[in-house]
Chains A and B, each alone.
Chain A
Amino acid sequence: MFSLLADKLDNTFRRLRGLGKISEKNIADALRDIRLALLEADVEFGVAREFIGRVKERAMGQEVLKSIKPGEQIVKIFRDEIAALLGGDAVGLDLTDPARIMVVGLNGAGKTTTSAKLALRLKNEGRRPLLVACDLVRPAAVDQLATLAEQIGVPVYKPAPGSRDVVAVAREALEWARTQNGTVMIFDTAGRQEVDEALIDELRQLHAFLSPRETLLVADAATGQQAVNVAQTFDRAVNVTGIVLTKLDGDARGGAALSMRSVTGKPIKFSGEGEKLDQFGPFVPGRMADRILGM
């Protein structure tokens, strides 16, 4: 296991060894370094504080005090705790009939791409997905989804140009679906900022109308401190059932994953790892923990 953070802490402890026994104060200093690492990885301030408070006891324990490489030991404890939190009660998608999945999130997070990626994945599992374009705002959003749907050979519902009412579009799409022999419907929605109450309300209405089994919040791995507000607001409005973390093919440390998971308790179900539609898969908590701690 290699980590700059672990190395740094080991060096600190090694110097201390010369002075005698490792004290609780030394461990407190190590915890401060861990806190810095979490904040630099974009874990939200309050989440980082709470998380360290909770894991502190284990990090202060005998296994660390007696270990040859206490720095590495402490980092490992945090790594395992992060992985456990991120992976806690991760479950698959609920696709019981009528299987409807609503895809929501901030502007540009990757919703449309994720909708198509998910459709492809479900199709490869032997299901018959249908895509529905419910973004009536962004220019050419319907074209974008339709192009992707064609690439993967999945039927797509395209609202009539000029449609403005998403609930009406969803109703038409349900009508259309009767003729399609699909087994699961995926609804792509327009991007919105969580502080935009009118747009959040529109999403709430669509959610109430569809009663989807799954409501997936799509979030960019590079999201900063606002991840907490974003996840909480969307969750309160449309009861998120899972999170999809996108753009993990970049080098963002991805602390937003920890923030969102901590404050909503909702599992991170999938991750996006590229622009191509097959660059998508189940979220791997251990890898994410390594990433957040810079390992």
Chain B
Amino acid sequence: TKFSRSSRIDWEELEAELVAADIGIRRAMGIADQLKESKGLDAENLVESTREVLRRAFPSTAPSLPAPPEGKPLVILVVGVNGTGKTTSAAKLAHLLQKQGSRVLLAAADTFRAAAVEQLQSWADKLNIPICKGAPSQDPASVCYEAHTQAIREGFQYLICDTAGRLHTRHNLMEELSKIRRTLAKQDASAPHSTLLVVDATTGANALAQAREFHKATPLDSVIITKMDGSGKGGVAVAIMDEMHISPSFLGTGEGAEDFEPFNRDRYVDSLL
């Protein structure tokens, strides 16, 4: 098999495989060390044993969205660094919830990037989802506030706020997220009910730094890993889970509206190696 030369296990090959999935060298060595201790291990069952270790890192059921509170919309805030797939994922999530029979409002709160509002608008048109838009350079917190007002007034069950991409190293932009959060809490102290960090599966070790900093600015409930249809395996989810105990909830698997699925740890781990 892949990890053996004659009947001996090739540990470096196992590490290489884990690193290739962006699990990180230290975690890879840790897994190898852990497995070296276990009895009855051979090249035949090595893959399965490794998968078992990885599976145990994740909760058996992925976090799902809470049910909308009585008479109020469940507010979802979508955040992340530039270009990860926030706008696309916001549209896909809205589509999924709408298909399940819920009334969903999208808020286009990226008033910064060129044509970001038009991008979400075009998804909303295509998927027939109502949208509340900000004007160019309008304060994103005020866009979210207006959208929240509309969602409450019109009895929407979900409000999904798309935000501008920002690097986690930009202090003032991270502050802006805290402000959005505070503003949403004005009309419902428990809002936002779910804050989702969007991470690109192609990202390496930096994804952990992203999760740490976003979590400080606006506590995260779960992670969406996008572009799982590419060669990136999204192994950084393991590091985020290990350190922060924040699990993926959805995976993006393409550019289409339907290319979106709930996170399933078995399937995810099987794709890692």
Give A residues with C-beta under 8 Å from B. Answer: 36, 39-42, 45-46, 106-110, 137-141, 143-148, 151, 193-196, 220, 222-226, 229-230, 247, 249-253, 255-256, 275
Residues of B contacting A223 in the complex (Cβ-Cβ under 8 angstroms): 202-204
**Contact indicator B83/A109 (Cβ below 8 Å):** yes
Residues of A contacting B232 in the complex (Cβ-Cβ under 8 angstroms): 224, 226
**Contact indicator A225/B207 (Cβ below 8 Å):** no
Residues of B contacting A255 in the complex (Cβ-Cβ under 8 angstroms): 204
Q: Main secondary structure on chain A at its contact with chain B?
A: loop
Distance of A139 Cα from B121 Cα, bound (Å)? 9
User: Can you list 5 A-B pairs, Cβ within 8 angstroms, ordered by A?
Assistant: A106-B230, A108-B82, A108-B227, A139-B119, A196-B230
When A36-B25, A147-B114, A250-B169 are in contact, do A108 and B83 touch as well, CB less than 8 Å?
yes
When A139-B119, A140-B115 are in contact, do A250 and B255 touch as well, CB less than 8 Å?
no
Is B84 at the interface (CB under 8 A from chain A)?
A: yes
**Contact indicator A222/B204 (Cβ below 8 Å):** yes
Determine the interface band of chain B, counting residues with CB < 8 A from chain A.
35 or more
**Contact indicator B231/A110 (Cβ below 8 Å):** no
- Please encode chain B, from 114 to 128, with 1 for each CB lying within 8 Å of some chain A CB and 0 for all others: 111011011100100
**Contact indicator A253/B202 (Cβ below 8 Å):** no
Nearest residue (CB) in A for B232 is A226
**Contact indicator B169/A251 (Cβ below 8 Å):** yes
Residues of B contacting A45 in the complex (Cβ-Cβ under 8 angstroms): 16, 19-20
Residues of A contacting B121 in the complex (Cβ-Cβ under 8 angstroms): 140
Give B residues with C-beta under 8 Å from A. Answer: 16, 19-22, 24-26, 81-85, 112-116, 118-119, 121-123, 126, 167-170, 200, 202-207, 209, 227, 229-232, 235-236, 255
Q: A252-B205, A275-B112 known; 17 other A-B pairs, CB under 8 Å?
A: A45-B16, A45-B19, A106-B202, A106-B230, A108-B84, A108-B200, A110-B83, A140-B118, A140-B119, A143-B118, A144-B115, A193-B230, A224-B232, A226-B22, A226-B231, A250-B206, A251-B169
**Contact indicator B231/A230 (Cβ below 8 Å):** yes
**Contact indicator A42/B83 (Cβ below 8 Å):** no
- CB of A93, distance to nearest CB on chain B (Å): 24
Best-surrounded residue of A109, A195, A225, A229 (most CB of chain B within 10 A): A225
Residues of B contacting A40 in the complex (Cβ-Cβ under 8 angstroms): 24-26, 205
- CB of B237, distance to nearest CB on chain A (Å): 12
Residues of A contacting B22 in the complex (Cβ-Cβ under 8 angstroms): 42, 224-226
Best-surrounded residue of A36, A107, A249 (most CB of chain B within 10 A): A107
**Contact indicator A222/B207 (Cβ below 8 Å):** yes
- CB of B116, distance to nearest CB on chain A (Å): 8
- CB of A224, distance to nearest CB on chain B (Å): 3
Distance of A127 Cα from B233 Cα, bound (Å)? 42
- CB of A43, distance to nearest CB on chain B (Å): 9
Best-surrounded residue of B22, B126, B204, B236 (most CB of chain A within 10 A): B204
**Contact indicator B231/A229 (Cβ below 8 Å):** yes
Distance of A148 Cα from B209 Cα, bound (Å)? 30
**Contact indicator B21/A225 (Cβ below 8 Å):** yes
Residues of B contacting A148 in the complex (Cβ-Cβ under 8 angstroms): 114
Residues of A contacting B21 in the complex (Cβ-Cβ under 8 angstroms): 225
Nearest residue (CB) in A for B200 is A108
Distance of A224 Cα from B118 Cα, bound (Å)? 31
**Contact indicator A224/B205 (Cβ below 8 Å):** yes
Distance of A138 Cα from B111 Cα, bound (Å)? 18
Residues of B contacting A42 in the complex (Cβ-Cβ under 8 angstroms): 22, 204-206
**Contact indicator A250/B168 (Cβ below 8 Å):** yes
**Contact indicator A108/B85 (Cβ below 8 Å):** yes
Distance of A193 Cα from B170 Cα, bound (Å)? 28
- CB of B52, distance to nearest CB on chain A (Å): 23
When A193-B229, A224-B205, A250-B167 are in contact, do A147 and B115 touch as well, CB less than 8 Å?
yes
Nearest residue (CB) in A for B25 is A39
Distance of A195 Cα from B228 Cα, bound (Å)? 11
- CB of A232, distance to nearest CB on chain B (Å): 11
Distance of A234 Cα from B194 Cα, bound (Å)? 38
